[in-house]
């Protein structure tokens, strides 16, 4: 991401960059998917996606004079696409990847992009072609549990400053699911089944938590997390959208600049020490 | 509005059900299998529920949650042959190839395909039955069926109403009905009108078709589990405009396909396929749906049965194929069909999903989505017949050596697909043709004892 745009007060440290953990996690989840599950993702898919995001990001780095470490953000966007996006030809994959990265530089408000790039790339193609889709259920259930635990642990340990939005979103969403299951008189197995979703996991920890695409102020961020959860619930259970989570975040992302202008606080930057990183 | 679907078969005496029919073990490949055809584009859905019920017709009854009160025009009684056509067309198949004479290679490859799966079956005896907050929203007689559309305020009331009207329900029926009532769904209740049934001249029940609009692309399988005493098989055929259909709340897994299996499987294909499915089902922890077929409905290669005509597709509810005759005529005039057989690509993509479900592994109804994936897929197993000629040449020797290895591979593949014992398979395969007795086995004596 364009970390160089707002001059950080502290020096960037590659080793402290939380994005490395995210890449490691997403990479292992992808490997799990490719080798263990019928993901419809092969080497070519991954290669085209990553090559496209790197190429697009490099162009932006050279053009806009951004820091090279922003390639890490592009890698995260690319891995997110590999995990969520499915297409019937590699051309669509490349287009989704290019759209994701381009959106960071084309759709901005006061020097900050407010759409999560992966989210935007998928949604734009979902609505514009039937050749792209998201397969939320292709993850299986049992072993996914391990990834849930791992994701929580890593997140809390390494990226806790921004984990609040993930946890608030998840808490609200799960509460709504619980209420619904109780209201319908369904067995608790239904609830667990609904939670054992790889798409929900990736969304919670690697998409809605995107510090660039969420409000900077803690209060605003909490409100944002709740709003996305409520909208996702409504879209899923009243409009029957299989991609409710993605649409909810996409529709509410424009709130980020508005909330930021209401609560002014220091802008998030990658690679800062946790103790001094902006809350 | 919600979607609808499947079923609850109730009866006065027993509540044996779950899908639409219960098949006899000796007459069908899979016991207790139901079939539904789901045609969908946008929010429009046409649903055909196959009913191979063969008990006393007076004792048949069925309850299906539906998203809205259906009008008379939304209900139709279809032709049972259509279901068989779709089943045969999409069934997992065996294909045969014949090796060339290694001394005189020619293009002698022959291929034949045939589908061996049939879902025929008979049901055990069923009895059918018949204001607690229950409203009869509509009442129709369609074909041989008397149909009621019920709405209910609470599940206890509906249960009582059904009991009062002669339906025998299992204990936890109320609990299963509850979620559908809370979601404001209506209940489609069908039983046989014997007088009308006599007029049809049929000894069986024809499939019920309903058409409705709902944003929810799903099948309510939970109701069918109420009295289930074991897992049930359900074949779901979807016909959509563009691509493959998959479930959004369970994994959809491709059936193992394309393997070479020993020749003797030709005579045991039903056993083979049942075992293959059983093995795959267990391997996936009983939690997935299997994709058995995905293909444009216009052609097939190899064909297990002729592709459905546009007229047949329309009868199944493929509403977007309105000008079937005219389009067909146009195709015949100008467009060459694709390889294989067929009328050429049509805007109809068939997905065949096979699920074996029970309450424990499938806590939720099945939710679907259409994907943009139009890649062809079929459950297909290959018989490669060895060359049986007597020619002698250096190539023939090499061929025989390869053949021995190939036979071993085929045996191993079969064992791994079906879970059958390798020694039994080898025995059943018999001797290889042309002097290869199959005894040229390089298995070490100790490899078998500690298995």
User: What ipTM was estimated for this complex?
Assistant: 0.83
User: What are the tens digits of pLDDT across the range A210-260?
Assistant: 777 788 888 888 899 999 999 999 999 999 998 999 999 999 999 888 888
Q: Please give the residue that has the higher pLDDT: either B130 or A146.
A: A146
Least confident stretch, A144-153, A176-185, B332-341, B386-395: B332-341
**pLDDT reading at B450 higher than 80:** no
In the prediction, which pLDDT does B439 show?
A: 47
Q: A41, A88, A96, A241: best mutation site toward chain B, by most B Cβ within 10 Å?
A: A88
User: What are the tens digits of pLDDT across the range B294-321?
Assistant: 999 888 877 778 888 888 888 998 988 8
A137 — contact with chain B (CB < 8 Å)?
yes
Q: Could B369 and A88 be called an inter-chain contact, meaning their C-beta atoms sit closer than 8 Å?
A: no
Token pair in block for residue A277:
């990183």
Q: Could A142 and B175 be called an inter-chain contact, meaning their C-beta atoms sit closer than 8 Å?
A: no
What are the phi and psi torsion angles at B447 (to 5°)? Answer: -70, -20
- Rounded to the nearest angstrom, the minimum Cα separation between B215 and chain A is 6
Q: Please give the residue that has the higher pLDDT: either B263 or B353.
A: B353
Token pair in block for residue A80:
């997110």
Residues of A in Cβ contact (< 8 Å) with B255: none
Distance CA A210, CA A117 (A): 9
Q: Please give the residue that has the higher pLDDT: either B311 or A6.
A: B311
Distance CA B27, CA B118 (A): 9
* Beta strands in B122-249, from DSSP E residues, in sequence order: 134-142, 145-152, 186-192, 208-213, 218-219, 232-240, 245-247
What number of other Cβ atoms are within 10 A of residue B451's Cβ? 7
**pLDDT reading at B54 higher than 70:** no
The residues in B 158-187 lying below 8 A from A, measured between CB atoms, are: 175, 178-179, 182-183
Q: Which of B178, B248, B250 minimises the CB distance to A184? A: B178
- Rounded to the nearest angstrom, the minimum Cα separation between A99 and chain B is 19
A234 — contact with chain B (CB < 8 Å)?
no
A90 — contact with chain B (CB < 8 Å)?
no
In the prediction, which pLDDT does A234 show?
A: 96
CA atoms within 13 A on the CB side of B373: 22
B290 — contact with chain A (CB < 8 Å)?
no
The alpha-carbon radius of gyration of chain A (Å, integer) is: 18
In the prediction, which pLDDT does A230 show?
A: 97
User: What are the tens digits of pLDDT across the range B182-210?
Assistant: 988 999 988 888 888 888 888 778 889 99
Q: Could A133 and B285 be called an inter-chain contact, meaning their C-beta atoms sit closer than 8 Å?
A: no
| Chain A nearest-CA residue for B364 | A190
Select, from the ranges A120-129, A261-270, B423-432, the one with the highest average predicted confidence (pLDDT): A120-129
Distance CA A204, CA B14 (A): 47
Token pair in block for residue B290:
């299997």
What number of C-beta contacts closer than 8 Å exist between A and B? 79
Residues of B in Cβ contact (< 8 Å) with A242: 248, 367, 369
**pLDDT reading at A49 higher than 90:** yes
Please give the average per-residue pLDDT across B215-223, as a whole number.
Answer: 87
Q: Please give the residue that has the higher pLDDT: either A83 or A108.
A: A83
In the prediction, which pLDDT does B61 show?
A: 77
Q: Please give the residue that has the higher pLDDT: either B211 or B168.
A: B211
Residues of B in Cβ contact (< 8 Å) with A142: 285
Please give the average per-residue pLDDT across B81-97, as a whole number.
Answer: 87
Distance CA B184, CA B152 (A): 8
What number of other Cβ atoms are within 10 A of residue B395's Cβ? 14
Q: pLDDT confidence of B11, banded at 50, 70, 90?
A: very low
Q: Please give the residue that has the higher pLDDT: either A277 or B50.
A: B50
What are the phi and psi torsion angles at A28 (to 5°)? Answer: -70, -35
Collapse the DSSP code of B253 into the 3-class scheme (helix H, G, I; strand E, B; otherwise coil) and give the result. Answer: strand
Distance CA A115, CA A146 (A): 29
Identify any residues that bridge with B288 across adjacent strands, giving them in sequence order.
B251
Q: Is residue B33 within 8 Å of B277, Cβ to Cβ?
A: no
A32 — contact with chain B (CB < 8 Å)?
no
Q: How far is CA B36 from CA A52, A158, B39, B69, in A?
A: 43, 50, 10, 20
B42 — contact with chain A (CB < 8 Å)?
no
Residues of B in Cβ contact (< 8 Å) with A130: 242-243, 370, 372
Cβ-based neighbours of B276, under 8 Å, separated by 6 or more: B255, B256, B417, B418
In the prediction, which pLDDT does A194 show?
A: 87
**pLDDT reading at A204 higher than 60:** yes
User: What are the tens digits of pLDDT across the range A130-145?
Assistant: 899 998 887 766 656 5
Distance CA B32, CA B357 (A): 11
In the prediction, which pLDDT does A16 show?
A: 66
Instruction: Supply the DSSP string of B83-102, one letter for each residue.
Output: HHHHHHHHS-EEEEEEPPPT
In the prediction, which pLDDT does B320 show?
A: 87
């Amino acid at each position: 991401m364009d970390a160089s745009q707002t001059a950080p007060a502290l020096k960037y440290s590659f080793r402290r960059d939380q994005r490395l953990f995210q890449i490691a996690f997403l990479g292992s989840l992808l490997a799990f998917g490719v080798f263990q599950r019928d993901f419809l993702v092969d080497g070519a898919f991954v290669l085209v996606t990553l090559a496209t995001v790197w190429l697009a990001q490099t162009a932006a780095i050279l053009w806009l004079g951004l820091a090279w470490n922003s390639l890490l953000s592009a890698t995260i966007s690319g891995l997110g696409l590999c995990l969520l996006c499915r297409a019937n030809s590699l051309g669509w994959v490349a287009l989704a990847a290019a759209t994701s990265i381009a959106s960071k530089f084309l759709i901005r408000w006061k020097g900050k992009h407010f759409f999560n790039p992966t989210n935007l790339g998928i949604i734009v193609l979902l609505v514009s072609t039937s050749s792209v889709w998201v397969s939320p259920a292709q993850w299986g259930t049992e072993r996914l549990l391990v990834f849930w635990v791992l994701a929580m642990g890593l997140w809390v340990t390494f990226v806790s400053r921004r984990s609040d939005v993930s946890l608030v979103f998840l808490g609200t969403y799960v509460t709504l699911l619980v209420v619904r299951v109780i209201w319908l008189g369904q067995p608790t197995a239904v609830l667990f089944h609904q939670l054992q979703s790889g798409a929900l996991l990736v969304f919670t920890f690697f998409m809605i938590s995107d510090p660039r695409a969420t409000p900077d102020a803690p209060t605003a961020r909490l409100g944002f997390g709740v709003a996305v959860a409520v909208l996702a619930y409504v879209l899923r259970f009243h409009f029957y959208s299989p991609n409710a989570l993605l649409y909810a975040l996409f529709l509410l992302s424009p709130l980020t600049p508005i909330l930021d202008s209401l609560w002014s606080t220091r802008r998030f930057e990658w690679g800062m020490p946790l103790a001094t990183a902006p809350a | 509005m919600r979607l609808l679907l499947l079923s609850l078969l109730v009866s006065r005496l027993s509540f044996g059900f779950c899908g639409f029919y219960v098949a006899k073990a000796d007459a069908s490949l899979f016991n207790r299998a139901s079939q539904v055809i789901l045609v969908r584009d946008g929010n429009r859905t046409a649903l055909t529920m196959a009913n191979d019920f063969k008990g006393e017709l007076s004792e048949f009854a069925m309850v299906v949650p539906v998203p809205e009160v259906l009008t008379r025009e939304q209900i139709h009684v279809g032709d049972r042959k259509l279901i068989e056509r779709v089943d045969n067309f999409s069934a997992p198949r065996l294909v045969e190839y014949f090796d060339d004479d290694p001394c005189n290679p020619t293009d002698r490859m022959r291929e034949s395909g045939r589908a061996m799966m049939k879902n025929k079956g008979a049901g055990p005896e069923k009895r059918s039955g018949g204001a607690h907050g229950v409203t009869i929203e509509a009442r129709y007689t369609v074909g041989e069926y008397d149909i009621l559309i019920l709405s209910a305020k609470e599940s206890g009331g509906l249960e009582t109403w059904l009991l009062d009207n002669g339906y025998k329900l299992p204990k936890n029926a109320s609990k299963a009905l509850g979620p559908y009532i809370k979601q404001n769904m209506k209940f489609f209740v069908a039983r046989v009108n014997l007088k009308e049934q006599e007029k049809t001249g049929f000894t069986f029940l024809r499939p019920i078709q309903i058409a409705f609009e709902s944003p929810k692309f799903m099948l309510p399988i939970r109701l069918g589990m109420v009295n289930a005493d074991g897992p049930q098989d359900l074949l779901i055929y979807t016909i959509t405009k563009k691509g493959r259909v998959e479930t959004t709340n369970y994994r959809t897994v491709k059936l193992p396909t394309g393997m070479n299996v020993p020749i003797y499987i030709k005579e045991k294909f039903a056993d083979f396929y049942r075992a293959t499915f059983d093995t795959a089902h267990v391997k996936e922890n009983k939690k997935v749906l299997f994709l058995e077929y995905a293909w444009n409905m216009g052609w097939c290669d190899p064909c297990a049965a002729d592709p459905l005509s546009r007229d047949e597709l329309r009868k199944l509810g493929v509403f977007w194929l309105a000008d079937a005759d005219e389009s067909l005529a146009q195709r015949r005039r100008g467009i060459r069909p694709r390889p294989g057989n067929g009328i050429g690509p049509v805007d109809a993509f068939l997905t065949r999903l096979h699920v074996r479900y029970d309450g424990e592994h499938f806590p939720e109804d099945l939710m679907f989505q259409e994907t943009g994936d139009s890649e062809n897929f079929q459950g297909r197993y290959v018989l490669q017949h060895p060359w049986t000629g007597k020619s002698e040449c250096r190539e023939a020797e090499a061929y025989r050596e390869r053949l021995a290895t190939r036979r071993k591979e085929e045996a191993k593949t079969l064992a791994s697909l079906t879970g059958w014992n390798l020694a039994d398979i080898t025995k059943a395969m018999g001797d290889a043709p042309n002097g290869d007795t199959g005894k040229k086995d390089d298995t070490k004596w100790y490899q078998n004892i500690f298995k």
